[in-house]
Amino acid sequence: MRKFLLLLVLLLTACQPMAVQRRDQGPVPVALRVDDAAYWLEEWSRLRELPAAQIKQALEHRNRDYARRPDTRARLRLALLLAEGPPSVRDEPRALSLLAELDAQRASASSRALAQLLLQVLREKTGKGDKIAVLQQNLRASEARVKTLEPQLRELERQLQELTHIEQSIQQRETPVERKEK
């Protein structure tokens, strides 16, 4: 999923408008307008490389920045860390809350795209977590059922063994009688 996030940010960066000025003489200068998609890519990359102690400091700084000035950039910086940071700082419910409250009218196109992508990733994680919880519950129920059936299985195996012995003894008794008749 992280590769998908990286690819989306790269695509958003590549889709930015380009203004080309034409001159009759000399090289053609190309002016690129870079939106904050490159910033988010760099931010995400920086997060992945930080050691654990610095990650916690980054979380404290972002919490303070967001408390002081809850604008789109501070909100997304904090949500990105809470959503995709290491497990020690991850708080997916809070990240969902931050992203859900994002003012789409004030956010740039790439900020809205990042918020939507993070929301989708978090919802998928939540959905998978729910499925895993259901599967674990089913597994525990199955294990409990197996434990209750084990004594019955042992009893049936014992009865089968007794029947096998009875059948063998009957066959041994019939064999000498059959020989006398012939």
What digits encode the pLDDT tens for the residues 51-104? 888 888 888 988 999 899 888 888 888 888 888 887 888 888 888 888 888 877
Strand partners, 31: 19
What pLDDT shows up at residue 64? 92
Q: How many C-beta atoms surround the C-beta of residue 127 within 10 A?
A: 10
Average pLDDT over residues 29-39: 51
| The pLDDT of residue 7 is above 60 | no
pTM, two decimals, is 0.52
Tokens found for residue 48: 């992945």
What pLDDT shows up at residue 26? 45
| Euclidean distance between CA atoms 120 and 163, whole angstroms | 61
Q: Which residue has the higher pLDDT, 110 or 182?
A: 110
Which of 22-36, 47-61, 87-101, 159-173 tops mean pLDDT? 159-173
> Tokens 């959503």 — which residue?
83
What pLDDT shows up at residue 8? 53
Q: At what angle do helices 109-181 and 2-14 cross, to 10 degrees?
A: 150
> For all residues of the chain together, what is the average pLDDT?
76
User: pLDDT class for 164, splitting at 50, 70, 90?
Assistant: very high
| Euclidean distance between CA atoms 102 and 112, whole angstroms | 8
106 class by beta-carbon count within 10 Å (0-12 exposed, 13-18 middle, 19+ buried): exposed
| The pLDDT of residue 150 is above 80 | yes
Name the least confident of 27-41, 96-110, 131-145, 147-161.
27-41
| The pLDDT of residue 159 is above 90 | yes
Strand partners, 106: none
169 class by beta-carbon count within 10 Å (0-12 exposed, 13-18 middle, 19+ buried): exposed
